[in-house]
Amino acid sequence: MKVGVVVFPGSNCDRDMYHVLTDVFNLDAQYYWHEKSLPKNIDAVILPGGFSYGDRLRAGVIAAHSPIIKDIQKMAEKGIPILGVCNGFQILVESGLLPGVLLKNESLNFMCEWTNLIVENNKTPFTNQFKLHDRIPIPIANGEGRYYVDDDTLKQLKKKNQIVFRYSQVVNGSSNRIAGVCNQAGNVVGMMPHPERAVESEINPVDNKPSSLIFESLMVKMGVVN
């Protein structure tokens, strides 16, 4: 199974994600620079966190115009699993692949802390190994992580089962405590917290198993494990 890790100028979690994919889950991962195109035979794409273009203008907005986004859009249409983490989520939102926007945190500060997620949709390629309402201890690290949608869109998201993760408590003021969403088809998922920082017990002070299920879900979906 081939996983592409997309690298934009200013991405800074690309190496962490690559380490987790290759060293922890033994997957065949490959970096793709934002000006390159994605090969046809790729099985999944991950947009890692960071500060693409230094968060100039608005987090993710410049990277959303990178050449590689066209390929990602095509893959999204084909139903290939795509995951955006943190800045990757912001880029997916800015490129129109996911609904909503990400605003400055209510505290107006960058926030780095451990939170708890609740799984609200266990049908996506990244959550199929969870039970509904499972808890995931996981860290956030962002300045513009407050997910916002208007009331009508929120209703739509609920109706179409597009809310994937919610925080167990109010963290940054996001609408409906949303931490991650998917597109209508469910194959494109974006989340603010960092699963790649939580899958190894050595650096996870709580429990590394729940976060690991995010990657194991993808492996099950792709038939790497059953």
Partner 1 sequence: MSLEPQELIELKSKIGRDPTSTELQIIAAEWSEHCSYKSSKKHLKMLPMKGPLVIQEKGYDSGVLDVGDGYVITAHIESHNHPSAVEPYGGAATGVGGVIRDILSAGTRPIGILNGLRFGNIEKDQQARWLFKNAVTGIADYGNCLGIPTIGGEVEFDDCYQNYALVDVAAVGFGKKENLIKNHAKKGDLVVLLGGSTGRDGMGGSQFASDSLESENRSAVQIPDPFIEKLIIEAILEARNHKLINAMKDLGGGGLSCAVSEIADTLEVGIEMDVDMVHTRESNMHPDEIMISESQERMLIITSKTKLKKLQEICKKFRIACSVIGHIKSDNQMHVKKGKKTFANLPIDVVANATLLDLPSKKPVYLKTIEKEKKLKPISDYSKIMMSLLGAPNIASKIWVYGQYDHEVGIRTVIKPGHDASVLRLDNGKFLSIKIDGNPKQCYINPREGAIGCFEEACRNVVCTGAKPIGMLDHLQFGNPKDPEIFWTFLESLKGLTDFANYFTIPCIGGKVSLYNETPSGPIKPTPLIGVLGLIDKTPLVPQKITKDDCLVIVGNTKDEMGGSEYFEYVHKFIGGKCPSVNFAESKKNMKTVLKVIQSQFLKSVHDCSKGGLAVAISELCMKNQIGCKISLENVPGEKLDIDRILFSESHSRYLLILDKKNLKKLEIILKKNKVSFNLIGKFTGDKIQFTKGTKSIIDLRVDMAQKTWINSLKDLVLHG
Residue among 141, 220, 222, 224 that touches partner 1 (CB under 8 A): 141
> Judged by CB under 8 A, does residue 94 bind partner 1?
no
| Pairing, β 111-119 against β 163-167 | antiparallel
Which amino acid, 207? D
* Closest separation in Å from C-beta 182 to partner 1: 25
One-letter identity of residue 222: M
Assess 93 for contact with partner 1 (CB under 8 A): no
Q: For partner 1, which residue of 60, 143, 180, 210 counts as binding (CB under 8 A)?
A: 143
* Rounded Cα–Cα distance for residues 50 and 30 (Å): 18
Stretch that binds partner 1, among 96-104, 139-147, 167-175, 177-185 (CB under 8 A): 139-147
- Is residue 67 within 8 Å of residue 37, measured between CB atoms? yes
8 A C-beta contact, residue 38 and residue 68: yes
Residue 113 binds partner 1 (CB under 8 A): yes
Q: How far is the CB of 105 from partner 1 (least distance, A)?
A: 10
Active site residue 86: yes
Amino acid at 104: K
Which residue in the set 139, 186, 190, 195 belongs to the binding site for partner 1 (CB under 8 A)?
139
In DSSP terms, which residues pair with 2 in a beta bridge? 28
Please give the structure tokens belonging to residue 26: 């033994």
Q: In this structure, what token pair is assigned to residue 221? A: 């979906």
In this structure, how many other beta carbons lie within 10 angstroms of the beta carbon of residue 109?
Answer: 10
For position 173 contacting partner 1 by CB under 8 A, the verdict is: no
The active-site residue out of 94, 120, 144, 194 is: 194
Residue 78 CB partners (closer than 8 Å, separation 6+): none
Shortest Cβ 111–partner 1 spacing (Å): 6
Residue whose structure tokens are 């009331």: 151
Residue 89 in contact with partner 1, rule: CB under 8 A: no
* CA 155/CA 210 separation, integer angstroms: 28
57 binds partner 1 (CB under 8 A): no
Size of the site for partner 1 (CB under 8 A): 31
3-state secondary structure of 141: strand
Enumerate residues 34-53 that contact partner 1 by CB under 8 A: 49-51, 53
**Residues with catalytic roles:** 86, 194, 196
Interface contacts to partner 1, rule CB under 8 A: 9-10, 12-13, 15-16, 19-20, 33, 49-51, 53-56, 109-113, 139, 141, 143, 194, 196-197, 200, 202-203, 205
